[in-house]
Amino acid sequence: MPKAFLSIEALGVSFPGRTGANEVLRDVNLQIDEGEFVSIIGHSGCGKSTLLNVVAGLVPITTGAVILDHSAVEAPGPDRAVVFQNHSLLPWLSVYENVRLAVDKVFRGKKNGRERHEWAMENLALVQMTHAVDKRPSEISGGMKQRVGIARALAIQPKVLLLDEPFGALDALTRAHLQDSVMEIHAKLKNTVLMITHDVDEAALLSDRIVMMTNGPAATIGEVLRVGLARPRRRLELATDGDYLRARKSVLEFLYARHAVAA
C-alpha cells in the first residue's frame, strides 16, 4: 500500500517543565492524501496548534515522525507554508511587496524578474487583491490582510498549506467570504490543506475529513470524521442538507458530550 502524502506517525511532543516533562501530544497518527482538506478541531489546550507547528517544522518532535512526500520534516521549509490568525505581514511593505518578498526568496535563480512579478500578481489575483497592490497593511481591512497572507503562502507553491485558525479574528460576514474563497482556491489548485479551527460549522463546510482531538495534557486523536459532501459546496444549500447536519452533530457530540471541558 503506498504511503500517504503527509504521514504523522506515532507522534509525541513534550516540553520541559519545572517538575518534569509536560506531555502535550501522545501517539498521534494521521495520514493525509495529496489534495485533501483536513481540519483539526478540539478544545483549547488540546495541542492543535502544537501539532500544526510540528508539521511546519517550528516545534521539535519528541517521539515519532512526520513524513511529507517521502521526506522527514525536521525544520521549516518552503514545502510548507503557514497562515496564522495574525496575518504577519510586514507593515513597511506594500501588499505587492509582501508577496514579492516570498516569491523572490523561493524562486530567485529559478524565475527571472518578469516571471517573479507575474507570479506574485497571479497569486494576488487568486485572492482578489490586485486592486490593492500599492497599499500598506495599515490601509486595508483585516479580511484583506488575511487574503494577502494566503496569497503569500500560496506563492511559494508549498506541498502543504497550513492554516492556524486563519479566520478566527474576523467578523462573521468577512469570515464567510474568506471561507468561500478558500474553497474556490482549493477547488482550483487541488492543494493539500491542514487547518486548525475552533469552529464546527467551518470544519464541516471546508473539510474532507475532521480530526477531533481529545483534551490535554497528552492529547491524541479521538475520532476522525469523513465529511461526505460533494464539491463544490454552497453554504446556503448546506444549511438544510442532511449529511452536513449529521457531520456537524457528530463533531458537537464528540466535543461537548464525550469530551466536555469544565467551565
pLDDT at position 84 is 87
Structure-block grid coordinates of residue 212: 477531533
Please check whether residues 198 and 261 belong to one and the same domain. yes
Please check whether residues 186 and 148 belong to one and the same domain. no
pLDDT at position 190 is 94
For the CA atoms of 231, 232, 234, 237, what is the dihedral angle to 10 degrees?
-50
Determine the Cα–Cα distance for residues 75 and 57; give it in Å rounded to an integer: 4
Structure-block grid coordinates of residue 60: 521539535
SS3 47: coil
Q: Tens place of pLDDT for every residue, the chain, 263 residues?
A: 567 899 999 999 999 877 778 999 999 999 999 999 999 999 988 999 999 999 999 999 999 999 999 999 999 999 999 998 887 899 999 999 999 999 999 999 999 999 999 999 999 999 999 999 999 999 999 999 999 999 999 999 999 999 999 888 788 898 999 999 999 999 999 999 999 999 999 999 999 999 999 998 899 999 999 998 999 999 888 989 999 999 999 999 999 876 665 44
SS3 120: helix
pLDDT at position 260 is 63
DSSP summary character for residue 223: E
SS3 252: helix
Q: Which residue, 129, 157, 185, sits at the end of a domain?
A: 157
pLDDT at position 262 is 46
pLDDT at position 263 is 45
SS3 228: coil
pLDDT at position 249 is 94
pLDDT at position 171 is 87
CATH number at residue 39: 3.40.50.300
Please check whether residues 203 and 239 belong to one and the same domain. yes
Assigned domain for 84 exists: no
Q: Return the amino acid letter for 164.
A: D
Please give the residue range of the domain that contains residue 66.
1-79+161-263
Whether 41 and 234 have beta carbons less than 8 Å apart is answered as no
Cis? peptide before 217, omega within 30° of 0: yes
pLDDT at position 107 is 95
**Which pTM was predicted?**
0.93
pLDDT at position 1 is 52
Return the number of other C-beta atoms located less than 10 Å from residue 50's C-beta: 20
Rounded to whole angstroms, the maximal C-alpha distance in the chain is 57
Please check whether residues 195 and 138 belong to one and the same domain. no
Give the position of cell 521549516: 76
